[in-house]
Structure 1
C-alpha cells in the first residue's frame, strides 16, 4: 500500500534486462564504476598535491631562514 514491494522491483529489473540485455548493462556498470573511480582519484590527488606543496613551502621557508642566520 503506497510502497514499492519486492515483486515490483523484480518485475522492473526483468523489464530492464529484457530491454537492454545483460551485456549492455554490464558495460554500463563498468563505465559507471570507472567514472566514479576516476572522480575519487581526482579528488584524492588534489588533497595530496596540496599537502606536498605546503610541505615544500615550509621546507623552503626553513631553508631561507637558516641561510639568513648564517649570513648574520
Structure 2
C-alpha cells in the first residue's frame, strides 16, 4: 500500500481529463510554460543588471594594502 503503481496513475489521469477536458489542460500547460519562461528571462535580466551596475575599479586609487607596481625610472646622477 506504500507506493502507487502505473495503473493508479493512469486512472487518476483519465479522471482528470474527464473532469477538466483536454482543451483546458492544454491551456493550463501553456500558461505554466509561459510563466516559467518569463521567470527565467527575469532572472537572466536581473543578473545582467546586477553585473552592470557595479562600478569598475579605479586603477589610480590605491589603498594601504595595495602595492603600487608602476615602475619609476631612477634619475642617474
Q: What TM bracket, shorter-length normalisation?
A: 0.7 to 0.9
RMSD: 1.5
Q: TM-score, normalised by structure 2?
A: 0.70
Runs of 4+ aligned residues of structure 1 deviating over 4 Å after TM superposition are none
- How many aligned residue pairs are there? 60
Unmatched 5+ residue regions in structure 2? 61-77
Between the two structures, name the one with larger relative contact order (CA 8 Å, sep ≥ 6).
1
Unmatched 5+ residue regions in structure 1? 66-72
* Higher Rg of the two aligned structures: 2
Q: TM-score, normalised by structure 1?
A: 0.74
Q: Which has the higher helix share?
A: 1
